[in-house]
Structure 1
Amino acid sequence: MIDDQDRRHLERCIELAAEALRSGNEPFGSVLVSQNGVAMLEARNEVGGGDATRHPEFAIARWAAGSMSPKERAAATVYTSGEHCPMCSAAHGWVGLGRIVYASSAAQLSQWQAEMGVAPASVRPLSIHEIVPDLKVDGPVEDLAESVRGLHRQMHLVSRGGG
C-alpha cells in the first residue's frame, strides 16, 4: 500500500528523472530512504556518457553496500521512478536492500515504447520478482506513472528530432 510518505518520495524520483532527461540521460531517478524516513542518497540515470550500467538503482546498491550495515540496508526502502531492470534488481538483492516502491512498471515502459515505435531493449524487461522473488515491492502508482510516461514521450520525441 502506498502512503503519503511513499508518494512524496516517488514524486522526488520523478523530479530526478526529469533532471536526468534535461542532462541528456534517460529519465530515471531513485531515492534511498532509511527505516526512519530519512533520504540517505538520491541518484539519477547517467547513461548518456555511454556506460549503460549507470542506473540510479545500481548506484544506490553500490553506495549502500559500502555505507550501511546489513541491518540498515534490509530496513531501508528504495523509491524509483521506474521498476528496476534485471541488473538493478540483482544488485538490490545481492546487497540485501529492503522494500522497493516504483511509480511505473517495466511492463508499462515496454508498452509505452511499443506504442512510440521504439525498438525493444537489448535486455529483457523482467519484473523485480522474477529476479528477487521474496522482496517486498509496491507499484505501479497509476497517476505518477503517467508523469513518467510523459518523460519517456519527451525523450523519444527529442531523439526523433521532433522536440
Structure 2
Amino acid sequence: MNIHQFNEKSSTEIQDLLIRCVNIPHWAQHIACHRPYENKQKLLTTAKILALDWTWDDILTALHAHPKIGEKDKNSNHNYSSNEQADISQNASDLDLLKQANQNYEEKFGFIFLIKAKGLTTDQVLVQIKQRLNNTIDVEKKCVHEQLILITLLRLEQEIL
C-alpha cells in the first residue's frame, strides 16, 4: 500500500498491520493516531522515535511473538521471518548449530536471540551469537532493542510502497 492508503485505512486495519510488524500494541496505536503522514519517511521517522521509548516489558512481549533464528514463523498470516531469514541454511547440521547457539543464548540471557537477519548467512548469524554471548545482560538488552527496531522498520518499509 502507499502512504495515502495507509492514511485512509481504518485505525483497526492500520494497528493490525503494525502489530504484524512488531507485537507492541501501544506503539501501533500511537502510530495510527498520528496519521496522516506526509510521506513514507515521516512515517518511518515517527515509528523509530516511538520505538526508542519501548520498555523492556514491551520488548519481551514482542519477543514472544518472534520465531527463533533458523525456525519457521508459526504466525501464518504473514511471512516476514521467512523472507528475512532467506539466506539462513536449512540443512540439518546448520539448523542444529543454530538450535544449540539459540539454547546457549537463552540459557544465559533468558530470552531469544534476536537479529535483523535480512541478508545474513548462517555463519554470520553464528558469529553474532558467539560475540553477543560475551555481553552483559544490560548491553544485550540494548542490542535486542536496537535489533527489534531495525526489524520493525524493515517490515514497515516493506508494507508502505
TM-score w.r.t. length of structure 1: 0.25
Structure of greater Rg: 2
Hey, which of these two has a bigger chunk of strand by percent?
Answer: 1
Q: Which has more helix, going by share of residues? A: 2
TM-score by length of 2: 0.25
